Structure 1
């Protein structure tokens, strides 16, 4: 069966003048990933003021208008699976989930099923947006497998576009509760440090000059035994942002197997509890409904395992 093609126009921002074309178009079209745009350019699906373009590295002229021919989403090969979900809010456009720790968001190597996408395909009966290039995933943002808490997924392409724009503009209210090692000396602070893949280990994120700007505002909520409960408000939303930023100021998350180093004071508590994840919970999610324009905000209580950990660390 032949797939249909949608025509999309994008104007390069003046601030993006001189950028690589794939980067500039990804900036103008937040619902399409840079990799997807790179593929569209390479396959002859992008035209500009000078005609057809096949080089993603071409310099983008600020203010120029480009036309992209975007094939309809490919059928998803993900299996719908009846996995229990804690649905916080749902309408015909979007769904807000309180994700349990241990649930992978999107199928990938090593986790081809049993994911949030598989669960959403079953729950929404196929009604999920496909604007990302593959039909029905609906995923606008992600949180780590071992992080619990609030996520939103799009059920329609219009909702996906509106939500993606808010994430790009950093207007989403995202707040995390984290149990960190050590007691911060201040009651609040901010970390403004760029993040990128670590050159030593590509599976890790590190503070890197020239990386993407990342800003985390943290507040001390409760002192604990050689530890503390903090709230982290994200001004940006980069991969592993809270984990890397808090570790960078000497307060890694308890239980973090990648960015933390367990103190002897905490090792017995964690081992006795069997607590084997980073102590991180997406506790608040606020955004403007992309269709109704209503302001929505959702809060999630700290889960039982983190509550128990705090109880065991009471001063």
Structure 2
């Protein structure tokens, strides 16, 4: 793959500095220099210490990414919400894990399904990068960067809290406040390998919510995460005394076969297209049925 940028400023600049301005990490430069790629200035191989001038074009050449033999192929279907040459965005159904589980023999996770899709499409890059994940029983948006560079860019955005992710949840009981920010640290439950809880010495965790609709015994909320802890929404709503409907692990009422949680919207910036990308995902049928009833 090739990525090119033209320098438009008057003052000379080193190639490596200009690449850094364009989100090229040191790791990507190493790949380009030593693992089958290249760095070109106006089409000629250069070292990154070389000075470039206004009007010159630098090109980053990255080698094709070979898929891992340890990730099995699965040809179950995927629901594509958006795809370009850099990102694949899927609607994950509830009941399908985002990534393969070590203790499960059957190779059916979203990662396995994407590998099958890449193979069927004969893409040059076969590594199944995954940037966002959802719990197995949460439905909605999951993002797969289609190459190392795109993954690196999204990781930076996630760390800087530039990526907006909105969820819809049905919580038990009637929330009083129309809007709230839950600021409560989360850590591992000392009595469980999987379960989490609010702990004084846990990791900082913030969840913001807005009430969408109040029902007699439940409340529909829109939720935006400001941090990304395991089970964060589920733990924070249980901490408020309003566990998610269907969330057996955190004592939610069993009106649905899984937690009523769906990633409905994501917004992130693509430097490759030089524009913001916003994707929405319709509610899963089982959650919609709860709302209708």
* TM-score tier after normalising by the smaller chain length: 0.7 to 0.9
Q: Is 1:104 aligned to residue 97 of structure 2?
A: yes
Post-superposition offset of 1:108 = 1.3
Deviations 1:126-180 (A, max 9, x none): 7597xxxxx7231112101110001111111000000111111111110100000
Give the conservation status (yes or no) of the 8 Å contact 2:206–2:227.
yes
| Cα distance between partner residues in 2 of 1:87 and 1:227 | 31
Q: 2:115 aligns with which of 114, 121, 124?
A: 121
Deviations 1:194-232 (A, max 9, x none): 111111212111111222211110010011121011011
C-alpha distance in structure 2 between counterparts of 1:75 and 1:174, whole Å: 29
Aligned residue among 215, 227, 243 for 2:206: 215
TM-score by length of 1: 0.68
Q: Using the alignment, how far apart are the partners of 1:222 and 1:83 within structure 2? A: 35
Aligned pair count?
Answer: 229
The within-5 A match list for 1:11-160 is 75-112=68-105, 113-125=107-119, 127=123, 136-160=127-151
SS of 2:152's partner is helix
Once the two structures are TM-superposed, the CA of residue 293 in structure 1 deviates from its matched residue by 2.8
Are the equivalent residues in 2 in contact too, given 1:188–1:220 (CA < 8 A)?
yes
1:3-32 superposed Cα distances (whole Å, 9 cap, x missing partner): xxxxxxxxxxxxxxxxxxxxxxxxxx9x9x
TM-score of the two chains, using structure 2 as the length reference: 0.73
Give 1:265-304 correspondences, 5 Å limit: 270=255, 275-304=256-285
Deviations 1:92-124 (A, max 9, x none): 211000111111111113334111111100112
Contact 1:128-1:137 at 8 Å conserved across structures: no
Q: What is the Cα deviation at residue 74 of structure 1?
A: 8.4
In structure 2, how many angstroms separate the alpha carbons of the residues matched to 1:105 and 1:160? 16
Whole-Å Cα distance in 2 between the matches of residues 243 and 127 of structure 1?
37
CA contact (8 A) 1:163 1:290 kept: no
SS across alignment from 1:186: coil
Whole-Å Cα distance in 2 between the matches of residues 75 and 301 of structure 1? 32
Q: Does structure 1 conserve the Cα–Cα contact (< 8 Å) formed by 2:86 and 2:150?
A: yes
Q: Which runs of 5+ in 2 are unaligned?
A: 1-24, 28-64
Name the counterpart of 1:231.
Answer: 222
Question: Which residue, out of 134, 156, 163, partners 2:154?
Answer: 163
Larger Rg computed on CA atoms: 2
2:234 is the counterpart of 1:243: yes
Q: In structure 2, how many angstroms separate the alpha carbons of the residues matched to 1:128 and 1:231?
A: 39
- In 2, the alpha carbon distance for the partners of 1:215 and 1:174 equals 13
8 Å contact kept, 2:247–2:260: yes
Does 1:185 find its partner at 2:166?
no
Consecutive unaligned residues of structure 1, counting only runs of 5 or more, are 1-28, 32-71, 130-134
Q: Distance in 1 between matches of 2:73 and 2:248?
A: 31
- The answer for the alignment partner of 2:15 in structure 1 is none
